[in-house]
A and B are shown apart, each in its own frame.
Chain A
């Protein structure tokens, strides 16, 4: 069980790294990658708890999170491409087209 405990902490640290990435980076692509990191940390937590309980419920949730991440990446990158086409930038701070 020690392994599960430590793994949960590692997953939490990975989640915080993702949060910090979203906070400090201005490149939209890297912000999206940080979101993927956070989702991945959630996956790891699900699988670890699933193993600790000895059931397979968390695996189903993880599958759904992976599908969700795929959908999120597709839509997010589509938005990045569309905004890059009109603004010629991928800087988050310059994505203010809703204000105008």
Chain B
């Protein structure tokens, strides 16, 4: 498949999915009757706890989420894995900023540090070490039926899930208007290190420790898998010992 065609079709597919989702939303019990009514609905509550107005936050979220999706598309579409890794960094970064919009300050910092920092360094390192990108047939080259079924299930999942998402915490009042429950106002401490730490070290202490064991196992496993196994290990060791003895 031609690369440019792939990009265009992926972008069109994403746009179509969003469009279909919004149509599904229009059929769901809760139609979004434009942005303004909802913005007005919770403007009073959020204005006290936020510096950004709800409408500005909404559009910031939309722009960031759009960038996120474009980054995702270029991640899966680019031929060169280095380009894909950089696009993935952009995607993760946009997600981090969206976390900030949602008052998840600690998670946003962790997202940038761990994901965009550590994991991506790992990826780029491996991409560099495995050399040239090889010729690769993009598309449904083998097992086309199973792939089509899988893709269809993924899209169907999206179409089933998005109306549920869009009607989340929305009801219709007696006059037939859609009412969104206001986002609960949160204190300025919401989502900071103290808040998350209290959760992790009280109720979720065991999962937290289990994660540390998982990381340890993963590190040991990674080292074991990549260890160089030479046929002439004994010979090499003997030679090294001999040279050390001479020195």
Contacts and interface: CB of A to CB of B under 8 A. Distances in A.
Given A44-B95, A66-B110, A10 B68 contact: yes
A19 B103 CA distance: 28
Interface residue tally on A, bucketed by range = 35 or more
Nearest to A80: B126
Contacts of B157: 12, 16
Interface string B39-63: 1001000000000001001100110
B199 A24 contact: no
B104 A75 contact: no
Interface string B158-192: 10011001111110000000001111111000110
A10 B227 CA distance: 41
Contacts of B150: 19, 23
B7 interface: no
Instruction: Give the most central of B107, B151, B214: most A CB within 10 Å.
Output: B107
A2 B196 contact: no
Interface string A60-100: 10111011111111110111111010000111010000000
Nearest to A5: B166
A60 B142 CA distance: 40
B142 A59 contact: no
Instruction: Give the most central of B54, B98, B157, B207: most A CB within 10 Å.
Output: B98
Interface in B198-217: 199-200, 204, 207-208, 211, 214-215, 217
A46 B157 CA distance: 18
Contacts of A74: 122, 218-219, 221-222
Contacts of B85: 29, 33
B123 A75 contact: no
B75 A66 contact: no
Instruction: Give the most central of A1, A15, A19, A62: most B CB within 10 Å.
Output: A1
Contact of A18 (B18, B72, B167, B221): B72
B136 A20 contact: no
B23 to A, nearest CB: 12
A47 B107 contact: yes
B195 interface: yes
Contacts of B214: 67-68, 71
Given A3-B54, A71-B215, A9 B199 contact: no
A29 B180 contact: no
B134 A81 contact: no
B246 interface: no
Interface in B93-135: 95, 98-99, 101-104, 106-107, 110-111, 114-115, 118-119, 122-123, 126-127, 129-130, 133-134
Given A9-B18, A16-B155, 11 more contacts: A1-B182, A2-B39, A8-B162, A13-B158, A16-B158, A17-B73, A27-B133, A66-B110, A70-B114, A74-B122, A80-B130
16 contacts: A3-B54, A5-B170, A7-B98, A13-B158, A21-B75, A33-B85, A51-B103, A59-B107, A60-B196, A66-B114, A66-B115, A67-B211, A68-B214, A71-B218, A75-B225, A80-B126
